[in-house]
């Protein structure tokens, strides 16, 4: 894997990946010939042996850059726990004990210096992801303290050496830590002398020294406390580097440092770090460098980093959305082999679409804060919904969907969970308007959302699932998700039927599942397999009328399945009673859904008809109200229920014919307008059934007219 040939490296990476999966999963999966397979007695020992080889090859100078990246990628995929429910993180603890310093050796390597192993543009980002994954997999304060101690020892060791190259190595390692486990990075940054050295190296005449120091300064400015310190001590230095340096690599990095400091107030319109118009000038320069194809990609990506910070300002968002050349250049970089740009592009798009979470404070608390002369965040006028919709339209026109689809396809540690969440947020914003959903689906957005809804942060998965729900509601699911892909949509939608999701998310998931449940029995079986039916039943009791109606509509399609019908047939439950009562509610949408479900159940399961009179003493009044409704759909549902009751038992038929239902059906059977033909047909069949029972008889009056009389 460490050979120079990229094809050999990639093939070996895939082979090792399969070997790791076989050792970690054992032979639990159904694999042909597994009975004859020779299995190691202790898979964990074999696994650790393979991991030891990967760790040992990381700092070796003979290993190619691509091979080193592959080793890091395998460690990212195989070492941390797949689920926090698994209590065993011993593999992570073992890797930290055996190999953390080797990982830091790679993280601290400065590519421009000759004494380090060869790196690619993605190596440092991959190290950041690996370190972050390992740190997040720790369970206790003691384990985290040990991780901090090992990192501090490494940084202190190199920083304490007399040579300048060792100090650069420690600063580079701190930069990687700041991009990964930032809490650890901030602790190492606070060690004596490191921040001062970074500031002083920014003024160095050596380009490599300047570059390492400026990058560290950029990553250090992430915290408001640190940004304040750098604003006081380093802004003048960054401005000098930006204006006076003759090297574009240094200038663009200094620009990003200024951008990051200028955005320290976030979206708060009243918290501006620089003078009016300064952020717009910085953003203009970022866009200029972004569009400059003569610059190397690793320099142009820093321009996107700058925009990721500056686009907190709504004026910058507006100018970027208007600049089609800058958008095109950004999307081309997102599709390139440079994986380090992914998060910056994702963050920029989240800011432009305003798809970040905003907590709107209680108006009374705002007034109280103003009275107490406390700072209250202000929203920029150009962050109003009308401006956001215009920006979304311009992004769609510029090809944002195809860029996002390419980003999702990247198999790289740089596509972190945070990056996935950014992409999910942007997709959700793009499908907010119904008229834009077709374009998103046509360019591959539906397919890209499925992996986003199954992997990543909990919030990111919810956002992606909600976007899938919006698409499924308004588009034909068989076209939006062709073939087997339609079955993959069910699980994300079912995940939205949770108490920690909003009512809007619950409502949209129910509507989407309603559409899927009406397509085929196989899809209904898939919905049942995901245990969504009990959740749907639970939402039928929800206080919010739209959610309650949507859940009942979903149940109306689900009862097409025999297995769901059996739930209503089973003795000792009030499911049927709920449907009868809902058929008499004021909410017309709920009445339609409940009456439709009742009509379906009484058609498929005739034994339920005898139970209806026992559900409530008002059942006959509810049925009469359906038959007398002005809404033809409710009339038809009522007529079908009445017909099913008539067919089920003679006693039920007699009860109906002895009430006002006879007169109502007689009127409905005469029909009239063409649209009433279905109601008239069902009503006529009810009367025919009564005649066959001998409950009523047909009298032919004068002029050929026909009247009905009850024999009782």
Q: Please check whether residue 145 lies inside any domain of the structure.
A: yes
The CA angle 174-175-180, to the nearest 5 degrees, is 95
Contact 126, 77 (CB under 8 A): no
CA angle at residue 323 from 322 to 329, to 5 degrees? 140
Q: Can you read off the two tokens belonging to residue 218?
A: 């950029």
Is 330 inside any structural domain? no
Which tokens is 313 given? 């300002």
Q: How far is CA 558 from CA 80, 469, 552, 571, 639, in A?
A: 40, 17, 10, 19, 22
Name the helix (H) or strand (E) containing 39: none
Q: Considering only 89-98, 156-165, 230-239, which range has the smallest mean pLDDT? A: 230-239
User: What is the predicted pLDDT for the residue at 705?
Assistant: 44
What pLDDT, on a 0 to 100 scale, did the predictor assign at position 226?
55
Write down the residue that tokens 């650790």 correspond to: 48
Concatenating the DSSP letter of every residue in 431-451 gives: TSSGGGHHHHHHTTHHHHHHH
> 375 CB contacts (<8 Å, ≥6 apart)?
270, 271, 369
pLDDT tens digit sequence for 304-330: 988 988 888 889 999 999 999 999 999
Distance CA(709)–CA(520), nearest Å, equals: 44
Structure tokens, 199 = 């500031």
Q: What is the mean pLDDT of residues 584-602?
A: 94
Q: Answer yes or no: is pLDDT of 192 > 50.
A: yes
Asked if residue 354 has pLDDT above 80, the reply is yes
Q: Is 180 within 8 Å of 128 (Cβ atoms)?
A: yes
Residue 564 lies in a domain: yes
* Within-domain flag for 435: no
Residue 358 CB-density burial (10 A; 0-12 exposed, 13-18 middle, 19+ buried):
exposed
Q: What's 682's domain CATH number?
A: 1.25.10.10
| pLDDT tens digit sequence for 395-429 | 999 999 999 999 998 777 767 788 999 999 999 99
Instruction: Return the residue matching tokens 């004068």.
Output: 702
603 pLDDT more than 60: yes
Which of the four pLDDT bands, split at 50, 70 and 90, describes residue 58? very high
Domain annotation covers residue 103: yes
Q: Which residue has the tokens 């208007």?
A: 322
Mean pLDDT of 241-270: 71
Per-residue pLDDT of 608-653, as tens digits, reads 999 999 989 999 999 999 999 999 999 999 999 999 999 988 999 9
Residue with tokens 């009456």: 595
- Quick check: 494 and 531 in contact, CB under 8 A? yes
Indicate the residue among 142, 170, 189 that finishes a domain: 189
- Spatial distance between the Cα atoms of 156 and 151, rounded to a whole number of angstroms: 9
68 C-beta neighbours (distance < 10 Å), count: 27
Whether 607 is covered by a domain: the verdict is: yes
**How many alpha carbons fall within 13 Å on the CB side of residue 580?**
23
- Which tokens in the block code for residue 155? 């940084």
Please identify, among 157, 189, 221, the residue that sits at the C-terminal boundary of a domain: 189
In a domain, 240, yes or no: no
Total structural domains within the chain? 2
In terms of Cα–Cα distance, which of 66, 75, 81 is closest to 100? 75
CA dihedral (231, 249, 215, 356) in degrees, to 10, reads 80
Give the number of other CB atoms < 10 A from CB of residue 241.
24
Let me know: does 47 contact 24? Beta carbons within 8 Å: yes
Tokens of 694: 């001998």
- Among 189, 222, 249, where does a domain finish? 189
Q: Has residue 680 been placed in a domain? A: yes
Domain holding 97, by residue range, is: 1-30+37-189
Q: Are 528 and 563 in contact (CB under 8 A)?
A: yes
């Amino acid at each position: 894997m460490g050979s120079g040939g990229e094809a050999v490296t990639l093939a070996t990476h895939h082979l090792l990946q399969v070997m790791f999966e076989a050792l970690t999963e054992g032979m639990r999966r159904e694999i042909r010939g597994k009975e004859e397979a020779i299995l190691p007695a202790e898979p964990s020992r074999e696994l650790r042996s393979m991991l030891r080889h990967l760790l040992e090859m990381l700092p070796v100078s003979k290993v190619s850059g691509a091979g080193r990246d592959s080793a890091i990628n395998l460690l990212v995929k195989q070492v941390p726990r797949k689920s926090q429910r698994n209590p065993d993180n011993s593999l992570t603890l073992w890797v930290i004990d055996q190999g953390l310093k080797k990982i830091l050796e790679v993280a601290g390597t400065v590519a421009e210096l000759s004494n380090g192993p060869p790196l690619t543009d993605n190596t440092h980002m991959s190290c950041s992801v690996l370190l972050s994954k390992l740190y997040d997999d720790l369970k206790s304060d003691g384990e985290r303290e040990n991780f901090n101690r090992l990192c501090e020892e490494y940084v202190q060791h190199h920083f304490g050496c007399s040579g300048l190259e060792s100090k650069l190595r420690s600063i580079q390692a701190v930069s990687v830590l700041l991009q990964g486990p930032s809490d650890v990075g901030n602790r190492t940054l606070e060690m004596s002398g490191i921040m001062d050295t970074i500031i002083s190296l920014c003024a160095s005449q050596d380009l490599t020294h300047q570059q390492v120091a400026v990058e560290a300064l950029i990553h250090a400015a992430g915290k408001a406390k640190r940004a304040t310190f750098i604003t006081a001590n380093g802004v003048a230095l960054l401005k000098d580097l930006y204006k006076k340096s003759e090297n574009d690599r240094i200038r663009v990095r200094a620009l990003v440092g200024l951008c990051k400091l200028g955005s320290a107030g976030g979206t708060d319109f009243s918290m501006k770090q620089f003078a009016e118009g300064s952020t717009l000038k910085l953003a203009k320069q970022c866009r200029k460098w972004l569009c400059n194809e003569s610059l190397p990609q690793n320099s142009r990506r820093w321009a996107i980093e700058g925009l990721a910070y500056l686009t907190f300002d709504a004026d910058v968002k507006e100018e970027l959305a208007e600049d089609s050349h800058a958008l095109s250049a950004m999307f081309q970089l997102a599709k390139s082999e440079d994986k380090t740009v992914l998060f910056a592009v994702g963050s920029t798009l989240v800011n432009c679409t305003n798809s970040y979470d905003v907590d709107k404070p209680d108006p009374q608390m705002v007034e109280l804060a103003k009275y107490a002369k406390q700072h209250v965040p202000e929203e920029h006028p150009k962050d109003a919904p009308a401006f956001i919709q215009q920006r979304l339209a311009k992004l769609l026109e510029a090809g944002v969907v195809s860029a996002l689809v390419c980003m999702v396809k990247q198999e790289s540690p740089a596509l972190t969970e945070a990056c996935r969440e950014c992409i999910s947020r942007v997709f959700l914003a793009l499908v907010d308007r119904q008229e834009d959903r077709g374009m998103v689906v046509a360019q591959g957005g539906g397919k890209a959302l499925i992996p986003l809804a199954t992997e990543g942060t909990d919030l990111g998965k919810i956002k992606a699932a909600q976007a899938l729900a919006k698409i499924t509601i308004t588009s034909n699911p068989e076209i939006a998700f062709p073939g087997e892909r339609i079955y993959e949509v069910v699980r994300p939608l079912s995940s939205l039927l949770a108490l920690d999701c909003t009512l809007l998310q619950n409502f949209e998931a129910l509507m989407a599942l309603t559409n899927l449940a009406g397509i085929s029995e196989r899809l209904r079986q898939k919905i049942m397999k995901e245990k969504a039916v009990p959740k749907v039943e639970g939402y039928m009791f929800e206080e919010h009328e739209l959610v309650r109606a949507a859940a009942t509509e979903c149940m109306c399609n689900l009862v097409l399945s025999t297995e769901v019908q059996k739930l209503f047939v089973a003795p000792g439950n009030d499911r049927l009673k709920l449907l009868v009562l809902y058929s008499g509610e004021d909410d017309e949408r709920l009445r339609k859904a409940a009456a439709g479900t009742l009509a379906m159940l009484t058609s498929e399961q005739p034994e339920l008809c005898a139970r209806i009179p026992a559900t409530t003493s008002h059942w006959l009044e509810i049925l009469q109200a359906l038959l007398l409704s002005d809404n033809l759909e409710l009339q038809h549902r009522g007529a079908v229920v009445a017909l099913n009751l008539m067919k089920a038992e003679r006693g039920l038929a007699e009860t109906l014919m002895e009430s006002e239902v006879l007169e109502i059906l007689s009127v409905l059977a005469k029909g009239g307008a063409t649209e009433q033909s279905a109601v008239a047909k069902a009503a006529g069949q009810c009367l025919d059934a009564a005649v066959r029972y001998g409950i009523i008889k047909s009298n032919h009056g004068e002029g050929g007219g026909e009247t009905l009389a009850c024999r009782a």
